[in-house]
Structure 1
Amino acid sequence: MSEHSEAPVAPVAAYEPPYYAAVFTTVRTQEQSGYSETAACMEELVQDIPGYLGMDHAQTPGGLGITVGYFRDADALTEWRTNAEHRAAQQRGQAQWYESYTLHVAKVERSHGFTRARTPQSPAAD
C-alpha cells in the first residue's frame, strides 16, 4: 500500500462562515502521463496561498472525480486561480488529462461537522 492510502481519512474541518468552496468535477481521458506528479505539485503549491483552508477529493468507480478546495476569502481563491504554475497545469489538463470538467465556486454560508467519539478498546477475551 502507498503512504497516501494509509493516511487517516477525514474531511476538511468545518470553518466559521463565510468562506469559499471551489468544486472541480472531472472525467479524465485515458492519457494520464504526468498527471499524478502534477496533482501532487498542485496540492503542495496551493498550501502556500494565504487563506487556503484545505481540500477534499473523491473518485467514483465509474471515473467521476471531485475535488473541493476551501478558501477563506475571494482574494485567496483569485490568487490560486491566477497562479502561473496552476494556469500551466490547467492548460495541460485541457490538452491531455480531461475528457470534461466543471468548476463551481460557491460562498459557504453555513458549515458544521461531526466526528464520532472513539471508545477505548477492551482487551479481547480468550
Structure 2
Amino acid sequence: MELQKPYYAVIFTNLRTEGDNGYGQMAEVMETLARKQPGFLGFESARDGLGIAVSYWESLEAIANWKSQMDHKQARKKGIQTWYSWYKVRICKVEREYEFNK
C-alpha cells in the first residue's frame, strides 16, 4: 500500500472478552463504513490474543470526523460494555515507510 506522505495512522490495540457477542458482524460493518469516510486511506488488522487494527487517514480532521460518526460512537460504546477488557488508541503521523516483498 503506497500512500502519499505524510498521512496518519490510528493504531487500536486491544484485548477481547470471551465470546463473539456480535463483535465479528460489527467489525465488518465498521470497516465498510470507515472505507466510505472522507480521508480514509486503508486498513490492516491482526489478532492472536492481542488485537491490533490500524486505519490510515489523510488528516487529523478526517480522524476526528470518523470518531464523531454516530454509528462508530455506538460501536465504541458497545465495545466498552461488551467486547473489550482493555484497549489503547494511538494516533501517529507517518512521514516515512519502507517494506520488503518477496
Contact 1:28/1:97, CA 8 A, preserved across alignment: yes
Q: Provide TM-score, normalisation by structure 2.
A: 0.94
Q: Larger C-alpha radius of gyration, 1 or 2?
A: 1
Unaligned runs of at least 5 residues, structure 2: none
Equivalent residue letter for 1:87: K
Runs of 4+ in 1 over 4 A off after TM superposition: none
Other structure's SS at 2:72 match = helix
Higher strand share: 2
For 1:82 and 1:91, the matched residues in 2 are separated by: 12
Give, as a single letter, the amino acid of the residue that structure 2 aligns with 1:99.
S
- Distance in 2, matches of 1:94 and 1:14, equals 33
* Equivalent AA in structure 2 for residue 36 of structure 1: G
Choose between structure 1 and 2 for higher RCO, CA contacts under 8 A separated by at least 6 residues: 2
Counterpart position of 1:104: 90
- Give unpaired runs (5+ residues) of structure 1: 1-12, 117-126
Q: Which residue of structure 2 lines up, in the alignment, with residue 18 of structure 1?
A: 6
Displacement, 1:31? 3.9
1:99 positional shift: 0.5
Quote the Cα distance in structure 2 between the aligned partners of 1:113 and 1:76.
26
Letter in 2 for 1:95: Q
Aligned length: 102
Q: Structure 1 residue aligned with 2:61, among 72, 75, 80?
A: 75
Question: 1:11-48: per-residue Cα shift (whole Å, max 9, x none)?
Answer: xx131211100000010001421101100100110011
Instruction: Note the aligned Cα RMSD (angstroms).
Output: 1.1
